[in-house]
Amino acid sequence: MNIQSALKQACVILRDNNIKTANLDSEILMSYVIRKDKKYITLNHNKKLLPKNISNFKKLISQRASGKPIAYLMGKKDFWNYEFIVTSDVLIPRPETELIVEQVLKIGKNKSKLKILEIGVGSGCIILSILREKKDYLGTGIDINKKCLEVSKTNAFKLGVTNRVKFFKSDID
């Protein structure tokens, strides 16, 4: 099976399951499976797929058809200027949430050594993006869910800010 035929089959499956972004989702998942960008897929439609890639792609398409979000399938989501690991334990960062980061950076434009607290830290995308932008800020993230904190810690390590952020498992009530 080549890329083009796999994409066509995937689109049919996704459309039949009312996935409105069937074409885009199929291409994103194909890129993920074969570890190539969209340009490669466009230019190499007739390229044969390895059996393991076909199997992985079909599995992901099946999960997407059942409604599982792309970010959870890929285990990552871009936010602000960075890539964050996401699991089903955290909410997927939304583009409009970037406005929070933008406003904090705007308000703190001429300030230094601020301490930031995020309650319900989830993946850490807000606080960690701010810390990456402001090298002298410190942060504290609180969440009631241990698994969220593990994801946040992984993202903090990945972004190189572990020395400036602390995470606590706590119910703020």
**123-153 pLDDT per residue, tens:** 999 999 999 999 999 999 999 999 999 999 9
Q: Counting Cβ atoms within 10 Å, is residue 62 exposed (0-12), middle (13-18) or buried (19+)?
A: middle
According to the model, what pLDDT value does residue 156 have? 98
The tens place of each residue's pLDDT in the chain, 173 residues long, gives: 999 999 999 999 999 999 999 999 999 999 999 999 999 999 999 999 999 999 999 999 999 999 999 999 999 999 999 999 999 999 999 999 999 999 999 999 999 999 999 999 999 999 999 999 999 999 999 999 999 999 999 999 999 999 999 999 998 87
- Report the pLDDT value the prediction gives residue 106, as an integer from 0 to 100: 95
Q: Look at residue 173 in the predicted model and tell me its pLDDT.
A: 79
What is the reported pLDDT for 93?
94
Cα separation, 41 vs 28, whole angstroms = 10
Mapped onto helix, strand or coil, the DSSP state of residue 117 is strand
Closest C-alpha among 112, 117, 14, 108 to residue 66: 14
Reported pTM: 0.88
What pLDDT is recorded for position 140? Answer: 97
Residues making up the chain, counted from first to last: 173
pLDDT, residue 101, reads: 96
